[in-house]
Structure formats: structure tokens, C-alpha cells
Amino acid sequence: MGLLSRKPDTASQSKTAKELTIINRLGLHARPSAMFVKTASRFKCEVWVEKDGERVNGKSIMGLMMLAAGQGSKLLITCEGPDGDKALEEIEGIVLRKFDED
């Protein structure tokens, strides 16, 4: 019948996650959300952001803004794919830099 199934390449499907706290004064409003999406979109991996049980695509500005993540919010960032480690590292960097706001 010609159906082929391919085993996923586990080496290229790494998954990494980290909890980050939003520390900039105004939280994850429009500009930081856009910065987050721009950074996440540079990588060939899925980026998921979870807050209080709600999970959204980290490459969606509307999704991020719907989280209403104010200062002090804890976000679980999960990156899954070939360059997920690097994506998480860069996302953590912009969060720690307070999205260059302060």
C-alpha cells in the first residue's frame, strides 16, 4: 500500500524548558511581546509559553499578550526542535535585560 513511516530524528528534536520571571516594570506588554516573538521566530523550533496553566505559541504576539504577564509573573518557556537550546538562551537573555526597557 506504500505507506512509509519515518522515525523522528531524536537528535534534532531536543526539548528544553525553563521557568523565567518577568522583571521589567510594565510586564509583557506590546513592545516586549513583539521583541519576544521576533527573537523566537528566528529559530527552527517550536516555542511555547505557559502561565497559570494557559499555554500559548511563543511566536504569536496575540497569544503572548493574552497571558497578561505583569511584573513578577512566572512563565514556563518550552522550546522543542533542532535549535531549541539556543532559542531558550536568547529568550532568557531578553527577559533578563528587561526587554531593554529599564
Segments making up each domain of the chain, as ranges: 28-100
What is the Cα–Cα distance from 90 to 88, expressed in whole angstroms? 5
Task: Flag whether the pTM goes above 0.75.
Answer: yes
**Cell of residue 66, nine digits:** 493574552
Strand blocks (E) in the chain: 15-21, 46-51, 54-57, 74-80
Ranges of residues in the chain whose predicted pLDDT is under 70: 1-13
To the query of whether residue 43 is one of the catalytic residues in this protein, the response is no
84-96 and 30-40 helices, crossing angle to 10°:
160
- Return the bridge partners of 20, or none: 75
Catalytic residue among 18, 29, 86, 98: 29
**Cell of residue 19, nine digits:** 521557568
Q: Give the per-residue pLDDT at 1.
A: 47
Return the CATH number of 28-100, one of 3.30.365.10, 2.60.40.1580, 3.40.50.300, 3.30.1340.10. 3.30.1340.10
